[in-house]
Amino acid sequence: MMINLCLYIKSLWRRWHHITRPGPGPDIKGWPLVEYLDATNTYKGFEWAPDDRPYHPDYAVQWFDPACVQITNTQFACSVVNKPRNFNGMLVDWAIGLVQSKAAWQYGYFESMIKMPLKRGQWPADWLTGETNWPPEIDTVEGYSRSDEYRKLRKFQSNVHFMHNGKKRVIRAKDHPIPKGLRGEWVKYATLWLPDKIEWWYNGYLVRRETRRHVLAAMNEPMRRVLNSAVQLPTEESVTLFDHVKVFQHPDHIKPQLKQTRNENSQPIKFKLPNSNF
């Protein structure tokens, strides 16, 4: 799509000219805030990965550990810890943190502030996944710091996974250049998902747009919000920080959500984190 080439060139221009000031973002004036993550609704709206298990059957080097998540006020940290665990005779070396929403939404504006670690072999992500099926999946951002360029932290990617003609497909991951001054700093990443388009906004600037009908048609169910740390070998211990995790919806798209129950005696969980640069 020609527009995405133009957006990529604009991203390169901002990187070359060290433009770190935030852009205006999309116009969502009048859209109600329908969900957020902070210490007061940890048990009401969000939950840890429900069971300890390998992260991915095709890349079983990491497992979800609730002890890798810490929430304070509106900010939470997902750590990566070298914590080997045996799963039916398979040793999985790295523990990671994951938080997912209990509710799911069809369309909306999904944003978060993320401070990604300048560490080797990291793979933190903010993404949406189908309420009952996978795919669909919309990746707001995946931050890659492979061993050959981990101090540069240059790879910030968006993607979409979907079903088409009975086969799993992707629209292809796309790199979005980030000014050097923003690496290791707080940056807002967001997805605007509407019936006629999906847009990705990094630091308040539009960086990608998807309007193909067969892709949009495959986004055919409400999606849950997922945020996590993760690794790519070789790696090291780290902490990814998230803040301002919010979901907004256009009034026309808001549907009644199942009320979530919360134990009022519950307190936000505090966990000890490994040493970090923050």
pLDDT value at residue 147: 56
3-class DSSP assignment, residue 75? strand
Place of tokens 């994951």: 98
pLDDT value at residue 258: 41
- Span 15-38, pLDDT tens digits: 999 999 999 999 999 999 999 987
Nearest CA to 227 out of 107, 54, 76 is that of 76
Nearest CA to 10 out of 160, 153, 178 is that of 178
pLDDT value at residue 262: 34
Cβ neighbours around 161 below 10 Å, total? 18
pLDDT value at residue 149: 53
Structural tokens at position 52: 């300890």
Domains of the chain: 2-253 (2.60.120.200)
The stretches in the chain having pLDDT less than 70 are 41-44, 49-53, 57, 146-154, 256-278
pLDDT value at residue 138: 98
Give every CB contact of residue 266 below 8 A, 6+ residues apart in sequence: 42, 43
| Contacts by residues 45-51 (CB-CB < 8 Å, ≥ 24 positions apart) | 45/101, 45/102, 45/103, 45/260, 46/99, 46/100, 46/101, 46/102, 46/225, 47/99, 47/100, 47/101, 47/102, 48/97, 48/98, 48/99, 48/100, 49/98, 49/100
Q: Say which DSSP state 9 is in.
A: H
